[in-house]
Amino acid sequence: MTITNQPTATAMDSLNPLVKAMGQMNLGVRSTNFAASSGTTEPGLALAEQRFLDSPIKPEKPQDERDDELDEPYRPTKLLFGRDHPDPVVENATLAAVLPPDITYNLALPASVIAEGKLSNLQLEAIVYGSQRHALDLPVAAKEEAVNLRTDGNVFASEVDPLPARCGFLLGDSAGMGKGRTLAGFVVENISRGRKKHIWVSVSADLYEDAKRDLSDLGLDKYASAFCYNLGNYKSQDAIKQEEGVMFTTYSTLISKNRLDQLLQWCGVSFDGLVMLDECHRCKSIELDGQGNAKKGSTQIVVELQNKLPRARVVYCSATSVSEPKNLGFMSRLGLWGPGTEHRSFNSFFDSIENLGIGAIELNAMHLKSLGALQARQLSYSTCDFELVDVVSNENFSAVYEQASRIFVDLYSALVKSGKRKTEYWAGKLFNVKLIFVFPLLT
């Protein structure tokens, strides 16, 4: 693949995100910009391009049929290479009304990854737009007064430029789309660019092996076994001496004592690698103070991690992040609030979105897609069959169900009385307990 150095640019000028989204609904002729594969000579990619250009245009459905559809069949509109995703994919009809920006980023990952279909065109599209977004900086605040110390001991005030934060990217694909493989693709792309250290945060220690497997599937077998580390395997007081690799950690490990400082020390002051927040909906229960800082828990650590590493390439990964505006509170790298925008803090942004209702949430998602900051696709159910089964009830059935319900209610009440921490721990178990009582009734 052709490698070109993309200059760091400033993110788009600030406008009201909702108004801007409406103004950026670039409905029109499909762009044939092939910048992402310029200079490519692989026959497989040329064939894929020709297939795309020769694909027939489907006739439009009657208006009454289109009105009943919430999703639209999806395929990349600006990326013209890579094998099709193995399953049919759709996109929300509202998001489908907006085209993403033209592609200006050139991939550096091995051509075999594309030619052999190790990443589908949809996964490649997310990597391209994410990397393109990482080439931009968020607007910075006005110059601040700082106090510097002369070598002779005299103190004087001077103006300094705050270090700009890099723009982030939100991967909002639904379950089954291969988000883990896409994150591994981000790692391969950045390793190919010479960036040596990366952070992968997820919800469970079991996903550490899944991350290594996804890297191995992309051709990094030896790298995955030698340069993938689990932060939980190190003592919190020990310094991590490895000079390169992917540091995997869970949110629960990250909020433990000294873990954030330990991770930041490993990253170093000039860190410009990936910070991938997998299943980041775990941070959605956010409480902010007047300055927009998180008050406690994993959200606070995630916000602090981003603030301490302004040049990091942040990827947010969750299928449910845009559904509620409060879930965006820790996603400061999307550029929806802060310097250069209408909203000084997340609280201001949240209030304006909440007052405008569900339509504002949809327009906000459209705005992010128009910037190339969001990809949100899902598997289609067009090939699935559904059957409604009527269950005939009787007195015995009703009696057993009533008894199971009473036991369930009593158990939940006991857990509530036992204290908040225990309730949170056992809340995840209650569904399984309910199945134990109800499943015999279904069989």
Q: Which residue has the higher pLDDT, 185 or 57?
A: 185
Q: Is the pLDDT of residue 101 over 90?
A: yes
pLDDT tens-digit profile of 208-253? 999 999 999 999 999 999 999 999 999 988 999 999 999 999 998 9
pLDDT for position 382: 83
pLDDT tens-digit profile of 359-387? 888 888 999 999 999 999 999 988 888 88
Interstrand relation of 378-379 and 89-92 (parallel, antiparallel or unpaired): antiparallel
Single-letter code of the amino acid located at 321: S
- Residue 431's contacts (CB-CB under 8 Å, 6 or more residues apart) are none
**C-beta separation of 138 from 11 below 8 A:** yes
pLDDT for position 295: 58
* Three-class HEC string of the chain: CCCCCCCCEECCCCCCHHHHHHHCCCCCCCCCCCHHHCCCCCHHHHHHHHHHHHCCCCCCCCHHHHHCCCEEECCCCCCCCCCCCCCCEEEEHHHHCCCCCCCCCCCCCCHHHHHCCCCCHHHHHHHHHHHHHHCEECCCCCCEEEEEECCCCCEEEEEECCCCCECCEEECCCCCCCHHHHHHHHHHHHHHCCCCEEEEEECCCCHHHHHHHHHHHCCCHHHHHHHEEEHHHCCCCCCCCCCCEEEEEEHHHHCCCCHHHHHHHHHCCCCCCEEEEECHHHHCCCCECCCCCECCHHHHHHHHHHHHCCCCEEEEECCCCCCCHHHHCCCHHHCCCCCCCCCCCHHHHHHHHHHHCHHHHHHHHHHHHHHCCEECCEECCCCCCCCCCCCCCCHHHHHHHHHHHHHHHHHHHHHHHCCHHHHHHHHHHHHHHHHHHHHHHHC
**C-beta separation of 129 from 169 below 8 A:** yes
Instruction: Give Cα 44 distance to the centre of its chain.
Output: 29
pLDDT for position 296: 59
Rounded to the nearest 10°, the torsion over CA 215, 221, 223, 225 is 100
- Residue 354's contacts (CB-CB under 8 Å, 6 or more residues apart) are 325
Q: Which residue has the higher pLDDT, 431 or 27?
A: 431
Does the pTM of the predicted model rise above 0.85? no
Q: 245 - beta bridge partners?
A: 197
Lowest mean pLDDT among 78-92, 134-148, 187-201, 230-244: 134-148
Give phi and psi for 102, each to the nearest 5.
Answer: -60, 150
Q: 379 - beta bridge partners?
A: 89
Q: Which residue has the higher pLDDT, 195 or 294?
A: 195
pLDDT bucket at 48, cuts 50 / 70 / 90: very low
Q: Which residue has the higher pLDDT, 418 or 108?
A: 108
pLDDT tens-digit profile of 376-425? 999 998 888 888 888 777 888 888 888 888 888 888 787 777 765 555 55
pLDDT for position 60: 54
Single-letter code of the amino acid located at 30: R
